Chain A
Amino acid sequence: MELFLPVLVGLLYAAGVYMILRRSFVKVILGLIFLGHAANLLIFTIGRLTKAAPPFVPSGTNILTEPYADPLPQALILTAIVIGFGVQAFAIVLFKRAYQTVGTDDLDKMKSTDEID
C-alpha cells in the first residue's frame, strides 16, 4: 500500500494536469475532479497509513497506545470530499449552461471577455 498510493497520487496529478490543459469542457471538469482526488489521497497517504488499528482507548486505560491510525486526516478528507462534490456539481451545471448559451465546448472559442472593445 505504501508504495502503491504515492504512485497513484502521482498518476492522478499527471492525468489531472493533462486534462485541464485540454480545450474541451468535459475534459477540464474531469481534470479538476482528478486533482481533487489526488489531493485527498495525498492527505490520506501523508497522514501515515496504519492498518487495522482504530484509535479507540482500550478499556481500563486512559490513553491511546501505539500503533493507532490518526483519525484527523480522514476527517479532513471527508470534509474535502463533500466540499469537492458540491463545487464540482456546480461546475458541471455551469459548463452545461455555458455550452447551451455559447453553442460550443471549445474553450479557445470563449474569448469574448478577454477582447479589447
Chain B
Amino acid sequence: MKLIESITMLIIILPIILPLTFSVMMLFFWKSVKIQRALNLLATLFSLICSLIIFVEVNNSGIISLQVGGWQAPFGISIVADLLSSIMVIITAVIGLTTALFSIGSIDESRERYLYYPLLQFLLMGINGAFLTGDIFNLYVWFEVMLISSFVLLSLGGRRAQLEGAIKYVTLNLLSSAIFLAAVGILYGLAGTLNMADVSRKIPFIENQELVNVVAVLFLIAFGVKAAIFPLFFWLPASYHTPPAAVSAIFAGLLTKVGVYAIIRFFTTVFIYNSDFIKDILLVSAALTMLTGVLGAAAQNNFRKILSFHIISQIGYMILGVALFSPLAIAGAIFYIIHHIIVKTNLFFISGYVKKLKGSYNLKELGGVYKFYPMLGLLFLIPALSLAGIPPLSGFWAKFVLIKAGLELKEFLVVGIALLVGLLTLFSMTKIWNEVFWKDDPQNSENVTDITYKSLTSGKKFMMILPIIILAFITIVIGFYAEPFFNIANESAMQLLDSSNYINSVLGLK
C-alpha cells in the first residue's frame, strides 16, 4: 500500500524528469536529426500520458504533493499538483506534441542540426516545472530554465529580425527576473519562508501589511512582464513574429500563460488576504490590456503580428477573471486559458502553413489561398471564429462565463469593453480571412504557388496539417461539450479559493 502511494507521488515529477532525460538523450545523437525527431515525438507522447495519469489521480484523490529529497515541507522544495496545475500540464503536453509534429514538417534542417529539439524539450521542462512547483524560489529557477531555452529558440538562425526581436525580449525578461528576485528576497525577509503554502499561512500574521502590498505589486510587475499585461507588453509584438512558425506557435500558446498562471496562483493561493488592494490594479490593467491589444492588431498588416497583438488582448480577459475574483470569474479565467492556448497555437500553425504555401506573412502579398486549398481555409475559420467568440465554439463559452461573472458583480464598464473587444477581434479575423484566403492572389497566377512548397514531400505536408486538424478538433470538442470542461475549471477555481486544502496537503497537516 505504501509503495503504491509513493509511486503515485513520484509520477507528478515525471513531467519535469521526462523532457530532461529525453533532451539529454538527444544530445548523444546530435548528428542524426532523424533520431532526434523520433525521440522528441516519443518524449511528448510520454509526457501526455503522464499528465493524463496525474490529472485522473488529482481529480480522484485531491491534491498530490511531493517533497523533493524527503525534506519536510517548509524546509525543502515541494512539487505540488492541484487541479489547475494538472490541467496546465496536460495542455502543455498537447501543445508539445502538436509542436513536435509541426516542427518535423516545417523546421529547416540547419536549425534541426543546431539542437532545436533538445531546446524544445528544455523549454517544456521549464514550463512544466513552473506549473508544478510549490516553492517561490523554485518558481524563479523554472522561469529561468524556460527563459534561457526560449532565448536560444528565438535567436536560433540569427537573421536580423530575429536578433532585433531577441534583444528586446531578452532585456525585458531579464529586467522582470531581477524584479522577481528582489520580491522573493523581501518576501523571505517578511515571512521567513518561501514555500507557497507556508507563506500563505503566515502572511496574515505579518505586522507590516503595507510592505506585503509592496511585495505583491513587485510580483505583479514581474509576472505582468511575462504575461504581457497592459503597460508591460511591448516586448511581445516586437519579437513573436520573428522566429519560425513552430517556435512562435509554442511561445504564443504557452509562455505568456505561465505568467498568467503565476498571477492566478499568487493572488489566490499566496496573497489571498490582500486581494482588495490588488483588485483595482488588475481590473484597470485588464481593461486596458484588452483594448490596446485589439486596437494594436487593427493597425497591423502582418499575419503573425496581428495574432501577436491578439495574444495581448486575450491575456486581458484572463486577467479580468482574476480581477473580478469570484468563483465563477476564476473558473472563467481557467476555461479561457484552456481555450486560448489551443486556439492561438493553431492560428500560428496556420500562419506557418500559409507561409510555406505563399512564401510570405504580409497580408498585401497574400491571397487566393481558399481557391486552391479550401480545407486550410475551413481549418482557419474554426480557431479564428472561436477566438472572436462565435457560438458554439470554445471562445464563446469562455467569454460568456467571464461576462456573466462581470455582470453579477456589476462591473458594467469592463463588461462593455470585453464585448467591444470581442467585436473588434472578429474584425481582425475577417481581415485575415479576406486578405489571405478570399481575395485574388495579387501575384495573379497559379504557378506562383511557392517552389518551396512544391519541393516539400507529402509526408512533410501531412506533418504540418495534422497538428492543425488535431487542435481544430479539440476546439470543436470544447465548444460542443463545454460542460465537462467548465465543471473541471469550476472545481479547480473552488480549490484555488479555498487554500486550506492546498496548505494541508503540502505541509502534511490533517
| Chain A residues within CB distance 8 Å of chain B | 16, 20, 25, 28, 32, 35-36, 38-40, 42-43, 46-48, 72-73, 76, 79-80, 83, 86-88, 90-91, 94-95, 97-98, 101-102, 107, 110, 112-114, 116-117
Contact = CB atoms under 8 A, between A and B. Distances in A.
Contacts of B170: 90-91, 94
B362 A46 contact: no
Contacts of A28: 171
Given A113-B164, A117-B302, A42 B186 contact: yes
Nearest to A102: B160
B466 interface: no
Nearest to B237: A114
24 contacts: A16-B178, A20-B171, A36-B178, A38-B182, A43-B181, A47-B189, A72-B188, A79-B141, A83-B144, A86-B148, A90-B148, A90-B151, A90-B170, A94-B151, A94-B166, A95-B167, A98-B163, A101-B158, A101-B159, A112-B160, A112-B164, A113-B238, A113-B241, A117-B301
Contact of A20 (B137, B147, B175, B301): B175
Contacts of A91: 170-171, 174
Given A83-B141, A83-B144, A113 B161 contact: yes
Contacts of B159: 101
Contacts of B189: 46-48
A43 to B, nearest CB: 3
A38 B141 CA distance: 18
Nearest to A114: B238
B167 A110 contact: yes
Contacts of A25: 167
Contacts of B168: 113
A39 B137 contact: no
A28 B168 CA distance: 11
Main secondary structure of the interface of A (DSSP, over half): helix
Q: A-B pairs with the 9 shortest C-beta distances?
A: A43-B185, A46-B189, A39-B181, A35-B178, A98-B163, A39-B182, A110-B164, A83-B144, A113-B165
B428 interface: no
B155 interface: yes
Nearest to B182: A39
B175 A32 contact: yes
Interface in B263-302: 299-302
Contacts of B137: 76, 79
B157 to A, nearest CB: 11
A43 B167 contact: no
Interface of B: 137, 140-141, 144, 147-148, 151-152, 155, 158-161, 163-168, 170-171, 174-175, 177-179, 181-182, 184-186, 188-189, 237-239, 241-242, 299-302, 305, 362
A77 to B, nearest CB: 9
Contact of A80 (B164, B166, B181, B241): B181
Contacts of A47: 185, 188-189
Given A20-B175, A95-B167, A101-B160, A113 B182 contact: no
A116 B299 contact: yes
Contacts of B147: 87
A87 B176 CA distance: 13
Nearest to B187: A46
Contacts of A107: 167
A95 B168 CA distance: 11
B188 A46 contact: yes
Contacts of B182: 38-39, 42-43
Contacts of A48: 189
A25 B170 CA distance: 12
Given A20-B171, A87-B174, A94-B167, A113 B185 contact: no
* Most A C-beta atoms less than 10 A away, residue of B171, B179, B300: B171
Contact of B188 (A40, A73, A79): A73
A35 B188 CA distance: 19
A39 B178 contact: yes
A117 B161 CA distance: 13
Contacts of A80: 140, 181
A36 B18 CA distance: 31
B160 A39 contact: no
Contacts of A113: 161, 164-165, 168, 238-239, 241-242
B168 to A, nearest CB: 8
A111 to B, nearest CB: 8
Contacts of B237: 114
Contacts of A90: 148, 151-152, 170
A20 B148 CA distance: 20
A79 B362 CA distance: 44
Contacts of B238: 113-114
B301 A116 contact: yes
Contacts of A38: 178, 182
